[in-house]
Amino acid sequence: MKTSDKHAGGGNSGGNVPIPLSRPVITEEDVQAVAEVLRGGWLTMGPKVEEFERAFAQAHGFDQATAVSNCTAGLHLALAVLDIGPGDEVIIPSLTFVAAANTVVAAGGTPVAADILSLETPHLDPASVRERITPRTKAVMVMHYAGYMMAPEPWDALRTDHGLKIIEDAAHAPLAPGAGGIGDIAVFSFFSNKNMTTAEGGMILSRDERLQERCRLLRCHGMTSTTTVRHNQPLLGYDVTEPGLNCRMDELRAALGLSQLSRLPAWNAERGRLSDRYRSLLAAALPDVRVPFTPDHPSCWHIMPVLLPKGAARDAVRLCMRGLGVQTSMHYPPIHMFSCYSGMPGSEALARTQEFCEQEITLPLYPGMADSDVVRVVAALGQALASSRGESGGSA
Ligand SMILES: Cc1ncc(COP(=O)(O)O)c(C=O)c1O
């Protein structure tokens, strides 16, 4: 994935320059922050990681955070510190990234798929989750689809009624209102297409100090002291109290993360403004294209999902848009449709997920995208829909 070395704002409209699905914003400050670490000589798990953890925790209203190598590693740790293992079931949405199922399987557990609420609110449906609870159910993994926040109340009720743990996959939701506060433990992603990036990276939030402490232990092989501490206390050794992994974050990424975090509020706001622009243009030009969630739903607007009219030839639409210089994607191919997860428990009744996934395409959205690019994307979508229906024109 390419980076832009300035916060462009100028967009791609000066001709037929392709409009990418997403584009990380890398500023000169980011470059300087990483270069400074390289010149300093301490490359991993040092003061920058600690500073990044403190800043991210504080920005989300938490006392502490644990930086990790990526969100998937964070989900592995979350499952481990909640003692999820062989024989345990974890209920997940099928409408999410496959890391949800993969990490449960890697822990030795069984992922169980549940349906979404509706096409308008494609969040995990608490009623569908309740139908799938068995004596083996240990946890539910919820996900703030597209950066739109899930309501906390149903998950609090599940915790109280069934003693379930809630794992919050907050990959899409840094600085979304209330992010990190729904789960017993929450994990964020800083992959290069996310709202802020460290190229690869992730962060764990939890108000449970014991969970955080155990995440820190397991993040570094289960060792009871870190390299930094031993650097300052040369005779200090370490014990290994349980088998851990290497899920550490390095100083370069932490420096980049700190620099990115300082601009995240402005970037999220810009994503929100661009999403509103999409909503009004689509409502005026293509009213049969629906946008999930209401415009006032609390969000950090990670991506721009839309639902094509029923029966639209999605592949043809996407190909045509590609030809017009507009990159699109799908969020997500549902997990139960992958060959590896075909027939997964719960997948026999996922009608709303199925319908959503058949109609969804994701449009470009990133800070620095010009309003004229949004106009171009909506026009391309109109043209693609018209041509997929065999019409000659199709203006938007
Ligand atoms: C919803 C969701 N969960 C988890 C992940 C995994 O994140 P990472 O690439 O940081 O491991 C992603 C990444 O795209 C994601 O979108």
Answer yes or no: 194 catalytic: yes
Of 384, 376, 327, the residue nearest 22 (C-alpha): 327
Is 91 domain-assigned? yes
- The pLDDT tens digits along the chain (396 residues) read 444 433 344 466 555 789 999 999 999 999 999 999 999 989 999 999 999 999 999 999 999 999 999 999 999 999 999 999 999 999 999 999 999 999 999 999 999 999 999 999 999 999 999 999 999 999 999 999 999 999 999 999 999 999 999 999 999 999 999 999 999 999 999 999 999 999 999 999 999 999 999 999 999 999 998 888 888 888 888 999 999 999 999 999 999 999 999 999 999 999 999 999 999 999 999 999 999 999 999 999 999 999 999 999 999 999 999 999 999 999 999 999 999 999 999 999 999 999 999 999 999 999 999 999 999 999 999 999 999 998 765 444
Residues 118 and 236 in one domain: yes
Q: Which atom of ligand 1 lies at the shortest distance from residue 99's CA?
A: 4
CB of 97 within 6 A of ligand 1: the answer is yes
223 Cα: distance to centroid of ligand 1 (angstroms): 27
CB of 99 within 6 A of ligand 1: the answer is yes
Residues 361 and 384 in one domain: yes
Q: What is the domain-level CATH number for residue 152?
A: 3.40.640.10
Is 228 domain-assigned? yes
Last residue of a domain, one of 257, 291, 309: 257
Residues 305 and 380 in one domain: yes
Residues 321 and 223 in one domain: no
Residues 317 and 219 in one domain: no
Look at the chain and report how many structural domains it folds into: 2
Residues 203 and 277 in one domain: no
Is 13 domain-assigned? no
Residues 172 and 250 in one domain: yes
Residues 225 and 83 in one domain: yes
Is 20 domain-assigned? no
Last residue of a domain, one of 236, 257, 278: 257
Is 279 domain-assigned? yes
How far is the C-alpha of 168 from the C-alpha of 337, rounded, in Å? 23
pLDDT for res 12: 61
pLDDT for res 14: 52
171 Cα: distance to centroid of ligand 1 (angstroms): 5
pTM to 2 decimals? 0.95
How far is the C-alpha of 310 from the C-alpha of 395, rounded, in Å? 20
Residues 242 and 272 in one domain: no
pLDDT for res 229: 85
Cα distances (Å, whole numbers) of residue 272 to 197, 231, 298: 18, 45, 10
Q: Which atom of ligand 1 lies at the shortest distance from residue 75's CA?
A: 4
* Ligand 1, atom 8: closest residue by C-alpha: 71
Residues 172 and 279 in one domain: no
Cα distances (Å, whole numbers) of residue 212 to 81, 249, 364: 9, 15, 36
pLDDT for res 7: 39
pLDDT for res 394: 45
Residues 207 and 320 in one domain: no
CB atoms near residue 167 (< 10 Å): 28
Residues 234 and 307 in one domain: no
pLDDT for res 231: 83
Is 3 domain-assigned? no
Last residue of a domain, one of 204, 224, 257: 257
Give the residue numbers spanning the domain of 160. Answer: 28-257
For residue 202, the surrounding DSSP H or E stretch is strand 202-205
Q: Where are the alpha helices (DSSP H) in 107-248?
A: 126-131, 153-162, 209-219, 227-232
Is 308 domain-assigned? yes
Establish how many alpha carbons lie within 13 A of residue 116's alpha carbon, considering only the half-sphere containing its beta carbon: 25
Q: What is the domain-level CATH number for residue 312?
A: 3.90.1150.10
CB atoms near residue 75 (< 10 Å): 28
